[in-house]
Structure 1
Amino acid sequence: MAEDNKQIVGYAQLIQLGNTEYELYRIYIKPGLQKQRIGTSFLNEFNKTMKSGDILTVIVKKDNEMARTFYSKSGFKQIEEHILTLEEEPITVIKYEMIIK
């Protein structure tokens, strides 16, 4: 969780999928506070809990250009693209991964 003047401005959730694989399950930064390195701070904290060789993945909607740019600039590589159906609507998602060094 990220705070500013005791107000929550963002949160992120990491889940462990296996011995060496983790997924960035949720990340939210309050609108207007994006691009202020809050997301980068979350990634840095997660990296501290992971070991070299661990894999961090994230799934992003294809039309979410801001998120896609953030993950690409943060060292994630696009590995898959899928079409999911949510409430009978097709949604294209992209899976990114980063191998921890």
Structure 2
Amino acid sequence: MIDVLSYTCIGVGIVFWFWGTSHLIGKRSVLFKLHSLSVSDTLGSIAIIVGLLLKRPNEWPLLILAIICLAMWNTMLGYVLAYCSNSGETVNDSYER
């Protein structure tokens, strides 16, 4: 039963990865693309690590640390990328689009 749940989590994580990548093709703004990519990559990576946690429960301290680092790093990276991509515009310019 644990193996099925573990492989399901890993599969869901891979689906999230591809789902976030598929938004890069659309005609939306760069900020929307970055947001959807960073959120889906974070959720996908966390789901994969949870699947690994179910398969290797003895490694829980390292895997929990990996989940915390992923959540913090990807959140901060998303903010930095959004700021850098929007640094050439003023706030009013972005609302007029």
| TM-score, scaled to structure 2 | 0.29
Q: Would you tell me which structure has more strand in proportion to its own residues?
A: 1
Q: Would you tell me which structure has more helix in proportion to its own residues?
A: 2
Pick 1 or 2: higher relative contact order, CA cutoff 8 A, min separation 6.
2
Larger CA Rg, structure 1 vs 2: 2
